[in-house]
Chain A
Amino acid sequence: QVQLQESGPGLVKPSQTLSLTCTVSGDSVGSSSYYWTWIRQPAGKGLEWVGRIYSNGRTNYNPSLKSRVTISTDTSKNQFSLKLSSVTAADTAVYYCARGGDCTGGACFTYWGQGTLVTVSS
């Protein structure tokens, strides 16, 4: 059974960098046939895809966030990470990590973490 768990600071100051880590069990971030992704959800609002990374290191980012986002993997810890720079209050959200690609066409997210709330405030 694949399990994902987000971790990181719950409070980030404006203009600083948001950093989150997703620890994976039941699969390998460095050799999986699937991809690893971040999705966020502001309170009471809908879902926004942030970006994804494949085991070969290839990444795709949401164009609306691309200039501020970096997703990377740490295969020694079986983790992948999100860094979002120059944050503002608009980046306040629950951030989910998820595994995607294990469906026809590869365009779905099957396993999700429980989510972690990040608040941007001074």
Chain B
Amino acid sequence: EIVLTQSPGTLSLSPGERATLSCRASQSVGSDYLAWYQQKPGQAPSLLIYGISSRASGIPDRFSGSGSGTDFTLTISRLEPEDFAMYYCQQYGSSLFTFGPGTRVDIK
């Protein structure tokens, strides 16, 4: 089973700042098999990024994904008020999906 680790656990930033979230895998992840989700309190997660760097439908271009192998990054170029939320990375391998523990992006 591939284990995902996310850092930092909490990121405290101000609107307009750049957010850089890290996701590290215990083994190499296939290039099509890394996704990112945003979750707000009381809501279901919503897909942001799939295939490491492809934005899901309707996702603004301030969200971008990058990385390869075992190290992946979600970048929010300029934080908007609605971006303060929980973010999870997710991978697929050997017919098993796993999620990272999440990074909380808080208002500073």
A interface residues (Cβ-Cβ under 8 A, vs B): 37, 46-49, 60, 62-63, 96, 98, 103-110, 112-115
Contact = CB atoms under 8 A, between A and B. Distances in A.
Contact of A104 (B37, B51, B96, B101): B51
B101 A60 contact: no
A105 B101 contact: no
B47 A108 contact: yes
A49 B33 contact: no
B80 interface: no
Contacts of A115: 44
Interface residues of B, number: 29
B56 A113 contact: no
Given A109-B35, A114-B43, 12 more contacts: A46-B102, A47-B37, A49-B98, A62-B96, A103-B35, A103-B54, A104-B51, A107-B35, A108-B35, A108-B90, A109-B45, A115-B44
B88 interface: yes
Contacts of A46: 88, 99-102
A96 B44 contact: yes
Contact of B33 (A60, A62, A63, A107): A107
A48 B45 CA distance: 12
Contact of A47 (B1, B45, B47, B96): B45
A112 B34 CA distance: 18
A49 B97 contact: yes
Contacts of B31: 105
Interface string B46-60: 110011001010000
Contacts of B35: 103, 107-109
A107 B44 contact: no
Nearest to B46: A112
Contacts of A96: 44-45
Contact of B51 (A48, A63, A98, A105): A105
